[in-house]
Amino acid sequence: MGKTLIQKIIEKSSGRNNVEVGEIVFVKPSVVLSHDNSADISKTFEKMGPKRVFDPSKIFIALDHEVPPPDSKKALNHSIIRDFVKKYGITNFFDCGEGICHQVLPEKGLVEPSTVVFGSDSHTTSHGAFGAAGIPVGRTETASLWALGETWLKVPESFKIIIKGTPQKNIFPKDVILHIIGKIGADGATYISVEFTGEYVDKMSMGGRMTFCNLSAEMGAKDAIIPVDDTTRAFLKDRLKKEYEPLYADKDAKYAKTLEFDVTNLKPQIAKPHKVDNVSDVSEVAGKKVDVFFLGTCTNGRVEDLEVAANILKGKKIKADSRLLVYPASKEVLLTCLDKGIIKTLVEAGGEINTPACGPCLGAYGGVLAPNERALSTANRNFKGRMGCSENTEVYLASPATVAVSALYGEITEYKGE
C-alpha cells in the first residue's frame, strides 16, 4: 500500500524510512512559528533552564495579535519578546506593522515544501498551501521546541478531498471551504491530515489555497496540504532561497475517507453564529442588519481579497451608520494595495484602514463589538464573544465579496457577480 503525503513529510522530518498511521515519532521542524504569545512562551522556556535555543534561524516570531498594543500590559509583553529575541539571537523577528504571522512567514521565504512547520497558533494549518505540513502546538510544547528542536507527533490518518467543477463568477475560495466545513462539521476531521486536490484546486491562486488550509482548522484538521505545482513554484521563486524537493502522495495511498465536492452550482456561502460549521447560502439570511463589516485577517487579508472588495465598492459609499474595518494581512500587502489604488478606493468608500495585523478578529483591540451589535467578517471564527463582546453579539463569516456588497446596504446581501 502506498503512502499519503503527510506520511512522506513525517518520514523526511523524522529521518525514518517508514512511518505508519498511529505511530508516535519524533519530528524536527524546518521552522517554529509564534507571535505575541511568545512573551508567555519565553517565560516557560527560561524556567526550563536551557542556555540557548536550538537554532536561532529556525525560530520565527511576528508581533501581530495586539498591534499597536492597546494597553501597557500588552506593550510590556512586546518588550519582553524584544528582549528575548536579542538575548538569544533570533534572526526571524518581525515587529509591529510587518503583518500577520501566517502571511509574513511565506512572504519572507520561510515555508519550505515537504517539511513540518510547528506553530503556537491554531491556524498554522495555513502553511499547507505550500506543500508543507503546518501543525499547531501549545505554548509549553513551543518552549520545548525552542530548546530541543524536535517534538513527538502521532502520524495522522488522511482525508482526500477532491473538488471539481467550474463555479459561477460570484463564488470565491471562502465560499467553497465554508461549504465543505458545513458538510464535514467542526469536528469531522479531528486529528486528520487533509489533502486537497482536483481541478478547482489546481486553478486556485496561492491566496485561495491559504484560505482553504487556514480554515481547515475549523473542521478539526491536524494539518491541511495542497501539493506543490507551478502556482506554488511561481510564488516561492523569488522568496525561498534554497532548493527543495516536493513530495507527493502515492497513487495507491490509503485514505481514511475520500470526499468529492462539485462547485458548479454552488451559491455564496455564510457561516452563521456561533459555529463555523453553521453554514448556509447567503440568501437564507439576507436582509439582517450589520453594524461592523470586517475585511482582513490571515484568512482573507491578501491583495486579491482587498481588490475584490475595492472593485465592488469603487465609486460608491458604504451605508450610513455602518463601519468598514480594513486590516491588510501584511506590510507587503498594504504597499501593493497602495500602488494599485485599492486602499484609496476603500477609504473613499468609507473604509477605515488599519495597521497590518489581526485586528478585532481575536477580540482584543481594534474595532471590537459593542453589546447587541452584529458583524460580517472575512475572518475564520465566529464563536460567541470572538470579536470582544458576548452580550448578544453575532459574528457572521463570508467572502470579501459578500462583505463588500453587504457594506453598501448595511445588511447581509448576496453578491450576484455584477
Mean pLDDT over residues 115-137, rounded? 97
Q: Does domain 5-261 have CATH number 3.30.499.10?
A: yes
Helices (H), 15-50: 38-48
Residue 13 scores a pLDDT above 80: yes
Phi, psi dihedral angles at 257 (to 5 degrees): -150, 150
- 318 burial level (CB within 10 Å; 0-12, 13-18, 19+): buried
3-state helix, strand, coil in the chain (%, to 5): 35, 20, 45
In contact, 34 and 119? CB cutoff 8 Å: yes
* pLDDT score, position 384: 87
Mean pLDDT over residues 156-179, rounded? 97
Query: Can you give the residue ranges of every domain in the chain?
Result: 5-261, 272-409
Mean pLDDT over residues 351-371, rounded? 93
In contact, 275 and 216? CB cutoff 8 Å: no
**What is the rounded distance in angstroms from the CA atom of residue 35 to the CA atom of residue 99?**
11
Mean pLDDT of the chain: 96
In this predicted model, what pLDDT tens digit does every residue of 175-194 receive, in sequence order?
999 999 999 999 999 999 99
* pLDDT score, position 74: 95
* pLDDT score, position 370: 92
The band of 364, judged by pLDDT with boundaries at 50, 70 and 90, is: confident
Q: Does domain 272-409 have CATH number 3.30.499.10?
A: yes
* pLDDT score, position 73: 94
Q: 5-261 and 272-409: same fold?
A: yes
The band of 385, judged by pLDDT with boundaries at 50, 70 and 90, is: confident
Give Cβ neighbours of residue 315 (< 8 Å, ≥ 6 apart): none
- The number of beta carbons lying within 10 Å of the beta carbon of residue 341 is 13
Mean pLDDT over residues 80-84, rounded? 97
Give Cβ neighbours of residue 124 (< 8 Å, ≥ 6 apart): 33, 102, 117, 118, 134, 135, 136, 137
The pTM score is 0.95
Give Cβ neighbours of residue 291 (< 8 Å, ≥ 6 apart): 321, 322, 323, 369, 370, 373, 374, 375
In this predicted model, what pLDDT tens digit does every residue of 216-270 receive, in sequence order?
999 999 999 999 999 999 999 999 989 999 999 999 999 999 999 999 999 999 9
